[in-house]
Amino acid sequence: MAQLLYARDSSQKHMSATRRHLRLCKQVKNTQGLVKQITPAYQLVTEKDQELQAQKLVREDRYDDMLMADNQLDDMVRNLFRRCEEYDRIYPGEPVLLQIFPEGKFSHIINMKREDEPAVVEKMAMRLENLGEKHALHVSGQELRLCINNSRKAIRAYQEALQVLKVCETECEMACTALRRQYENNYLDARKQLGKVLAERLFPKLNVGSKSDKAPAAEA
Protein backbone atom coordinates (compact mmCIF):
# COMPACT_ATOMS: atom_id res chain seq x y z
CA MET A 1 0.00 0.00 0.00
CA ALA A 2 1.17 3.53 -0.70
CA GLN A 3 2.65 5.46 2.20
CA LEU A 4 0.16 8.07 3.33
CA LEU A 5 0.68 11.23 5.34
CA TYR A 6 0.05 11.61 9.07
CA ALA A 7 -0.83 14.49 11.35
CA ARG A 8 2.62 14.27 12.95
CA ASP A 9 4.29 14.90 9.59
CA SER A 10 5.66 18.39 8.94
CA SER A 11 4.27 20.75 6.34
CA GLN A 12 7.51 20.23 4.39
CA LYS A 13 6.83 16.50 4.24
CA HIS A 14 3.25 17.16 3.12
CA MET A 15 4.50 19.40 0.31
CA SER A 16 7.33 17.09 -0.69
CA ALA A 17 5.08 14.04 -0.90
CA THR A 18 2.46 15.90 -2.90
CA ARG A 19 4.98 17.46 -5.27
CA ARG A 20 6.41 14.04 -6.04
CA HIS A 21 2.92 12.59 -6.41
CA LEU A 22 2.05 15.29 -8.95
CA ARG A 23 5.23 14.59 -10.91
CA LEU A 24 4.47 10.88 -11.05
CA CYS A 25 0.89 11.50 -12.10
CA LYS A 26 2.09 13.57 -15.04
CA GLN A 27 4.05 10.56 -16.28
CA VAL A 28 0.95 8.37 -16.47
CA LYS A 29 -1.99 8.85 -18.81
CA ASN A 30 -5.50 9.67 -17.61
CA THR A 31 -4.43 11.11 -14.24
CA GLN A 32 -5.38 14.72 -14.96
CA GLY A 33 -8.30 14.40 -12.56
CA LEU A 34 -6.02 13.39 -9.71
CA VAL A 35 -3.75 16.35 -10.43
CA LYS A 36 -6.65 18.77 -10.61
CA GLN A 37 -8.31 17.71 -7.38
CA ILE A 38 -5.20 17.87 -5.18
CA THR A 39 -3.52 20.96 -6.65
CA PRO A 40 -5.62 23.55 -4.73
CA ALA A 41 -4.87 21.90 -1.37
CA TYR A 42 -1.19 21.64 -2.28
CA GLN A 43 -1.02 25.30 -3.27
CA LEU A 44 -2.73 26.35 -0.05
CA VAL A 45 -0.23 24.46 2.10
CA THR A 46 2.60 25.98 0.08
CA GLU A 47 1.18 29.45 0.67
CA LYS A 48 0.54 28.92 4.38
CA ASP A 49 3.96 27.37 4.90
CA GLN A 50 5.62 30.36 3.24
CA GLU A 51 3.70 32.68 5.54
CA LEU A 52 4.69 30.55 8.52
CA GLN A 53 8.38 30.53 7.63
CA ALA A 54 8.33 34.28 7.03
CA GLN A 55 6.66 34.87 10.39
CA LYS A 56 9.26 32.69 12.13
CA LEU A 57 11.89 35.07 10.81
CA VAL A 58 9.87 38.03 12.08
CA ARG A 59 9.62 36.35 15.49
CA GLU A 60 13.39 35.84 15.56
CA ASP A 61 14.02 39.47 14.61
CA ARG A 62 11.60 40.80 17.21
CA TYR A 63 13.21 38.58 19.85
CA ASP A 64 16.64 39.94 18.97
CA ASP A 65 15.29 43.50 19.11
CA MET A 66 13.74 42.84 22.50
CA LEU A 67 17.01 41.50 23.91
CA MET A 68 18.93 44.44 22.47
CA ALA A 69 16.53 46.96 24.02
CA ASP A 70 16.64 45.13 27.34
CA ASN A 71 20.44 45.09 27.34
CA GLN A 72 20.54 48.79 26.57
CA LEU A 73 18.15 49.46 29.43
CA ASP A 74 20.35 47.37 31.74
CA ASP A 75 23.41 49.33 30.65
CA MET A 76 21.62 52.59 31.35
CA VAL A 77 20.80 51.40 34.87
CA ARG A 78 24.41 50.38 35.46
CA ASN A 79 25.68 53.72 34.16
CA LEU A 80 23.23 55.63 36.32
CA PHE A 81 24.35 53.74 39.40
CA ARG A 82 27.97 54.68 38.68
CA ARG A 83 26.97 58.32 38.08
CA CYS A 84 25.22 58.38 41.42
CA GLU A 85 28.26 56.91 43.13
CA GLU A 86 30.49 59.49 41.49
CA TYR A 87 28.12 62.32 42.41
CA ASP A 88 28.10 61.22 46.03
CA ARG A 89 31.90 61.22 46.11
CA ILE A 90 32.04 64.72 44.67
CA TYR A 91 29.14 66.07 46.76
CA PRO A 92 29.13 64.01 49.97
CA GLY A 93 26.75 66.44 51.56
CA GLU A 94 24.09 65.88 48.90
CA PRO A 95 23.96 62.07 48.47
CA VAL A 96 21.59 60.80 45.79
CA LEU A 97 22.44 57.12 45.40
CA LEU A 98 19.97 55.88 47.99
CA GLN A 99 17.34 58.29 46.66
CA ILE A 100 17.51 56.74 43.22
CA PHE A 101 18.47 53.20 44.33
CA PRO A 102 16.76 52.75 47.75
CA GLU A 103 18.24 49.26 48.13
CA GLY A 104 21.74 50.51 47.42
CA LYS A 105 22.27 48.15 44.48
CA PHE A 106 21.07 47.58 40.91
CA SER A 107 21.57 43.85 40.29
CA HIS A 108 18.00 42.96 41.27
CA ILE A 109 16.73 45.41 38.65
CA ILE A 110 18.72 44.19 35.66
CA ASN A 111 18.08 40.55 36.61
CA MET A 112 14.30 40.76 36.91
CA LYS A 113 11.90 39.70 34.17
CA ARG A 114 12.40 41.99 31.20
CA GLU A 115 8.64 42.56 31.04
CA ASP A 116 8.68 43.99 34.57
CA GLU A 117 11.87 46.02 34.37
CA PRO A 118 10.54 49.09 32.47
CA ALA A 119 7.99 49.85 35.20
CA VAL A 120 10.63 49.65 37.93
CA VAL A 121 13.10 51.79 35.99
CA GLU A 122 10.37 54.33 35.31
CA LYS A 123 10.12 54.93 39.06
CA MET A 124 13.84 55.66 39.04
CA ALA A 125 13.30 58.17 36.24
CA MET A 126 10.63 59.88 38.33
CA ARG A 127 13.02 60.11 41.29
CA LEU A 128 15.63 61.70 39.05
CA GLU A 129 13.14 64.24 37.76
CA ASN A 130 12.18 65.07 41.34
CA LEU A 131 15.75 66.23 41.91
CA GLY A 132 14.90 69.29 39.82
CA GLU A 133 15.81 70.44 36.35
CA LYS A 134 18.98 72.14 37.54
CA HIS A 135 20.36 69.00 39.12
CA ALA A 136 23.35 67.43 37.32
CA LEU A 137 21.61 64.04 37.13
CA HIS A 138 18.29 65.36 35.87
CA VAL A 139 19.16 64.62 32.25
CA SER A 140 19.66 60.97 33.14
CA GLY A 141 15.92 60.72 33.70
CA GLN A 142 15.27 61.62 30.08
CA GLU A 143 17.83 59.07 28.94
CA LEU A 144 16.15 56.42 31.07
CA ARG A 145 12.72 57.18 29.65
CA LEU A 146 14.03 56.79 26.11
CA CYS A 147 15.37 53.33 26.93
CA ILE A 148 12.18 52.46 28.80
CA ASN A 149 10.03 53.33 25.80
CA ASN A 150 12.30 51.39 23.46
CA SER A 151 12.14 48.35 25.72
CA ARG A 152 8.35 48.45 26.04
CA LYS A 153 7.96 48.90 22.30
CA ALA A 154 10.25 45.94 21.60
CA ILE A 155 8.41 43.75 24.11
CA ARG A 156 5.05 44.57 22.54
CA ALA A 157 6.40 43.89 19.06
CA TYR A 158 7.71 40.50 20.16
CA GLN A 159 4.43 39.56 21.84
CA GLU A 160 2.50 40.58 18.73
CA ALA A 161 4.87 38.51 16.57
CA LEU A 162 4.18 35.49 18.78
CA GLN A 163 0.43 35.94 18.36
CA VAL A 164 0.72 36.22 14.59
CA LEU A 165 2.98 33.16 14.53
CA LYS A 166 0.42 31.15 16.46
CA VAL A 167 -2.25 32.07 13.91
CA CYS A 168 0.06 31.09 11.06
CA GLU A 169 0.81 27.76 12.72
CA THR A 170 -2.89 27.03 13.12
CA GLU A 171 -3.68 27.96 9.52
CA CYS A 172 -0.80 25.84 8.24
CA GLU A 173 -1.97 22.86 10.33
CA MET A 174 -5.49 23.21 8.95
CA ALA A 175 -4.19 23.39 5.38
CA CYS A 176 -2.05 20.29 5.99
CA THR A 177 -5.09 18.43 7.32
CA ALA A 178 -7.01 19.19 4.13
CA LEU A 179 -4.07 18.19 1.94
CA ARG A 180 -3.52 14.99 3.90
CA ARG A 181 -7.14 13.96 3.42
CA GLN A 182 -7.01 14.76 -0.28
CA TYR A 183 -3.77 12.80 -0.65
CA GLU A 184 -5.53 9.74 0.76
CA ASN A 185 -8.57 10.39 -1.44
CA ASN A 186 -6.28 10.56 -4.46
CA TYR A 187 -4.93 7.14 -3.57
CA LEU A 188 -8.40 5.66 -3.22
CA ASP A 189 -9.54 7.28 -6.48
CA ALA A 190 -6.41 6.08 -8.27
CA ARG A 191 -7.06 2.51 -7.19
CA LYS A 192 -10.62 2.68 -8.46
CA GLN A 193 -9.55 4.24 -11.74
CA LEU A 194 -6.26 2.50 -12.50
CA GLY A 195 -6.11 -0.54 -10.28
CA LYS A 196 -3.87 -1.20 -7.31
CA VAL A 197 -0.61 -1.89 -9.15
CA LEU A 198 -0.60 1.27 -11.27
CA ALA A 199 -2.04 3.39 -8.47
CA GLU A 200 0.86 2.42 -6.20
CA ARG A 201 3.30 3.87 -8.74
CA LEU A 202 1.75 7.33 -8.40
CA PHE A 203 2.67 7.67 -4.73
CA PRO A 204 6.33 8.08 -3.78
CA LYS A 205 8.17 6.18 -1.12
CA LEU A 206 8.42 8.74 1.66
CA ASN A 207 11.20 7.23 3.74
CA VAL A 208 13.93 7.89 1.21
CA GLY A 209 17.38 6.93 2.40
CA SER A 210 16.54 3.64 4.15
CA LYS A 211 18.96 0.73 3.90
CA SER A 212 16.85 -0.93 1.24
CA ASP A 213 17.33 2.14 -0.99
CA LYS A 214 21.11 2.08 -0.91
CA ALA A 215 22.94 1.02 -3.99
CA PRO A 216 24.92 -2.26 -3.73
CA ALA A 217 28.57 -1.93 -2.85
CA ALA A 218 30.98 -1.97 -5.76
CA GLU A 219 32.86 -5.21 -6.33
CA ALA A 220 36.53 -5.24 -5.56
Q: What integer is the mean pLDDT of 171-197?
A: 97
Q: Where does the pLDDT of residue 210 fall: very low under 50, low under 70, confident under 90, or very high at 90 and above?
A: very low
pLDDT in tens, 110-169: 999 999 999 999 999 999 999 999 999 999 999 999 999 999 999 999 999 999 999 999
pLDDT in tens, 55-98: 999 999 999 999 999 999 999 999 999 999 999 999 999 999 99
Query: What is residue 91's predicted lDDT score, i.e. its pLDDT?
Result: 94
Query: What is residue 218's predicted lDDT score, i.e. its pLDDT?
Result: 44
End-to-end CA distance of the chain: 37
pLDDT in tens, 20-50: 999 999 999 999 999 999 999 999 999 999 9
Tell me how crowded residue 26 is: count the other CB atoms within 10 A of its CB.
13
C-alpha span between 202 and 31 (Å, rounded):
9
Sign of CA dihedral 14, 17, 23, 24: negative
